[in-house]
């Protein structure tokens, strides 16, 4: 199978990191969706024949899912009081 499309992910420093190579554009686009669902970020597909970006995917992290409520102060300090009980 001929490998014609490279997939890259943008690193936080702005550089693109090579992830993998696929044989056709349809497979590359499907893989972008899978990668973005697993690890949010910006992805690009480069056609090796033309050296052009032919697909991209950008998935941002769900900010609500990333927020965590801090534990009550008494638990953080190792003391549990009745007012902390739910």
pLDDT tens digits, one per residue of 6-38: 999 999 999 999 999 999 999 999 999 999 999
Q: Is residue 84 part of a domain?
A: no
**pLDDT value, residue 73:** 47
Give me the chain's average pLDDT, please. Answer: 79
Print the SS3 string covering the chain. Answer: CCCCEEEEEECCCCCEEEEEEECCHHHHHHHHHHHHHHCCEEEEEEECCCCEEEEEEEECCCHHHHCCCCCCHHHHCCCCCHHHCC
pLDDT of residue 21: 96
Does the pLDDT at position 40 exceed 50?
yes
- Domain for residue 86, yes or no? no
Structural domain tally of the chain? 1
Question: Domain range holding 46?
Answer: 5-66
Residue 83 has pLDDT above 90, yes or no: no
According to the model, what pLDDT value does residue 51 have? 95
């Amino acid at each position: 199978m001929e490998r014609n499309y490279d997939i890259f992910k943008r690193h936080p420093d702005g550089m693109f990191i090579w992830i993998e190579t696929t044989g056709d554009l349809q497979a590359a686009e499907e893989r972008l969706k899978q990668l973005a669902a697993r690890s949010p970020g910006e992805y690009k597909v480069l056609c090796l024949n033309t050296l052009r970006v032919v697909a991209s995917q950008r998935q941002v992290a769900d900010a609500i899912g990333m927020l965590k409520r801090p534990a009550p102060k008494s638990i953080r300090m190792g003391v549990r009081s009745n007012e902390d009980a739910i």
